[in-house]
Amino acid sequence: MRKMKIGLALGSGAARGWSHIGVIKALKQTGIDIDIVAGCSIGSLVGAAYACNKLSALEQWVCSFRYWDVLRLMDVSWGRGGLLRGERVFNHYRDIMPVTDFDHCSRRFGAVATNLSTGRELWFCLVYTSP
């Protein structure tokens, strides 16, 4: 009998999305192994870190935040596409996750975004994972 595959979908939610780290850790502690992870917004950041075995580095970075650090990361946007642009978070995130190619991740990963010109959904995903 084949082993059941388990997927995890992580959502958006700005700072609340960091709680996905705790959810993944709790699942692992109970012996649930996640085979594929997908996310949008903050969920895609956490999901990518997990897929590429960088979750503890991300957790350390997030746990080091103080109130003013969080405020400095916010780049408010009054235009289309959401309240926060996220550029500052992404710039710092690249220090933790320098991976630009998900071929070397240990789990399958997908991220979803919206094309702001058309309003259509875009999926970025890895079809093959390294053994």
Q: Between 122 and 38, where is the model more confident?
A: 38
The 10s digit of each residue's pLDDT in 28-43 is 999 999 999 999 888 9
The 10s digit of each residue's pLDDT in 45-94 is 899 999 989 899 889 888 887 766 665 666 566 665 555 555 666 667 77
- Report yes or no on 73 lying in a domain: yes
- Report yes or no on 76 lying in a domain: yes
Predicted confidence at residue 8, as pLDDT, reads 96
- Report yes or no on 28 lying in a domain: yes
- Report yes or no on 130 lying in a domain: no
Where would I find the H helices in 74-125? 87-96
110 contacts 124 by C-beta, under 8 angstroms: yes
- 10 pLDDT band (50/70/90 cuts)? very high
* Rounded-to-integer distance, Cα 66 and Cα 101, Å: 31
- Report yes or no on 131 lying in a domain: no
Rounded to the nearest integer, the mean pLDDT of the chain is 79
- 131 pLDDT band (50/70/90 cuts)? very low
Where would I find the H helices in the chain? 19-29, 42-51, 55-63, 67-73, 87-96
Please give the residue range of the domain that contains residue 64.
7-125
Q: How many separate domains does the chain show?
A: 1
